[in-house]
Amino acid sequence: MDYRVIALDLDGTLLTPEKTILPASLTALQNARKSGAKVVIVTGRHHVAIHPFYQALALDTPAICCNGALLYDYQEKKVLASDPLQPEQANRLIDLLDSHNVHGLMYADDVMIYQEVTGHITRTENWAKSLPESQRPTFRQVKSFREAAHEVGSIWKFALTDTDIEKLQNFTQIVEREMGIACEWSWHDQVDVAQSGNSKGKRLAQWVESQGLSMSQVIAFGDNFNDLSMLKSAGLGVAMGNAADEIKACADLVIGSNTESGIAEVVNQYFEHVPAQEVM
């Protein structure tokens, strides 16, 4: 098959548990780009939280962020396409969060906003502090999500976390039933709430078509439920070994975990090898 695009989820897929990219993956992806492949990040993260990985990969493609809520051009530092939550949707969701005592992050414009400190927020902020200042995402704690929602331009998604998984599961059912917007699990204890219709697969397909290509020419790598839309629609959908069984069942291929060299092996199999000294 004439694969031309490599689509990569980050957390649990390209990234190790230490939030690094394996050297073998970096080399394989550099070789693939040298041979003409387009490499694109497709993530649930905010675009402000992928700088170190985008730069490590030396990409020139736009990034698909917040589970497809937006397509971001790092070269021009602008949003190319997006489907954010509408103000009335955000306000209604904030009402539900308050009434059910559920906490999380609001991904807006170029900042991540929170009311209450949670383990997820502490871990993410600690990771951010380990980065060079130029690569650090911006966090802001506020007294009121509602006030903050009125001050920002676009709200891409809410990332909700709770140690009580059953509580989180019940809350997502309420949101889906009462609001009709999308809830996708992106980690074992995180649900992302965004505009209905957004997905990694949909936004990826739009971008791929804009390049004069088709999804049959895409190899997509993922590990969680928010990756299913692109794994199912790609020419080759690859699930990580650390993925849940439901994800593996929907993939064309299952490889090793995100601490192993499976991504490099698949990329090297389908793209012409370039000697190390020729890789830019």
Please list the active-site residues: 9
Give the position of tokens 């994800």: 247
Residues 59 and 74 sit within 8 Å (Cβ to Cβ): yes
Residues 41 and 74 sit within 8 Å (Cβ to Cβ): no
In the sheet with 63-65, reading across from the earlier edge strand, the strands are 63-65, 70-73, 78-82
Q: How far is CA 66 from CA 83, 101, 108, 212, 261, in A?
A: 10, 23, 10, 24, 26
Altogether, the residues listed in the chain come to a count of 280
Which residues fall within 8 angstroms of residue 149, CB to CB, at 6 or more apart? 87, 90, 91, 94, 106, 108, 155
Q: How far is CA 115 from the centre of its chain?
A: 22
Residues 217 and 236 sit within 8 Å (Cβ to Cβ): no
Q: How far is CA 39 from CA 59, 85, 180, in A?
A: 7, 28, 33
Q: Which sign, positive or negative, has the C-alpha torsion 46, 47, 49, 54?
A: positive
d(CA 66, CA 42): 8
Number of neighbours of residue 188 by Cβ within 10 angstroms: 10
Which is nearest to 151 in space by CA: 121, 115, 194, 108? 108
